[in-house]
Structure 1
Amino acid sequence: MSSADTATPATPDARVERRAKRIAKHINAFAAQHGGSAEGVVEYVGRTATRIVLVGADGAWGDQVAPTYAVGQRAAELAGLKLHDSFEGELGLKVRTGPYEWKRMAGIQI
């Protein structure tokens, strides 16, 4: 019997863990670039994706997209991300917007 015959396919849990570790690396890189820490919220985008909204210690914001809510939650956990229930309130107040965001928001109004 060859080793190919005894190999088992990756379990769903193993795939979740691999994907989450990859996303956690991006979260940690974002945090390192923006004051050394970040906070965030995990939100459903739809049936096929989840968005992790990040806010750095310096007020910069960004995001990561995960294929499922479970992957997003696990990535946040692996990165040590402080999670909030929603983007409103405390987390939203930490965001610092610049001229680019204000110009884009004004453009939507026109």
Structure 2
Amino acid sequence: MAETKQADTAVADKGADKGAERKAAKLAKEIKAFSARHGGAEGQIAHIGQAGTRIVLAGTDGGWGDLVAPTYAVAEAAAEKAGLTLHEEFDGDFAAKVVTGPYEWTRMAGIQLGGPANA
């Protein structure tokens, strides 16, 4: 009986692994597309709780974006598949690569500076 349960778990894990591999491959494709549009890219991976793991992307041209992976392992696999250079933290040097405009500043400030409210 225990062998059957272990076999069932192994089959379930293999199914989960295939799903994780597919998700990582899809995210890697999106990372590569972002990198191509922005002349290259670097990134940082951060846990965002139950929602998963965020991959923050900063393009060479200052453009930025993010993707959400279901787990940290999937995010790391996607970054590796895409050849993305990762930073340990979103520190000052990495943040300086991101160009923000008036929309971002008013959106981040919200109603404090008369920008749109964060609904």
On whether the aligned pair clears a TM of 0.5, the verdict is yes
CA root-mean-square deviation:
1.7
Q: Which structure ranks higher in relative contact order (CA pairs < 8 Å, sequence separation ≥ 6)?
A: 1
Larger Rg: 2
Segments of 5+ residues of structure 2 without an aligned counterpart are 1-10, 114-119
Of stretches 52-61 and 42-51 in structure 1, the one that deviates more from structure 2 is 42-51
- 2:75 and 2:30 map into 1 onto residues whose CA distance is 12
2:90 paired with 1:87: yes
Question: Which letter does structure 2 place at the counterpart of 1:26?
Answer: E
Segments of 5+ residues of structure 1 without an aligned counterpart are 1-7
Decide which structure has greater helix share.
2
- 1:108 and 1:21 map into 2 onto residues whose CA distance is 40
Q: Quick one: percent identity of the two aligned structures?
A: 57
- 1:107 and 1:60 map into 2 onto residues whose CA distance is 22
TM-score by length of 2: 0.78
Which residue is 2:6 aligned to?
Answer: none
From the superposition, tell whether residues 29 and 14 of structure 1 become closer, same or farther in structure 2 (CA, over 3 Å). same
The equivalent position to 1:20 in structure 2, one of 15, 21, 24, is 24
- C-alpha displacement at 1:105, in angstroms? 2.6
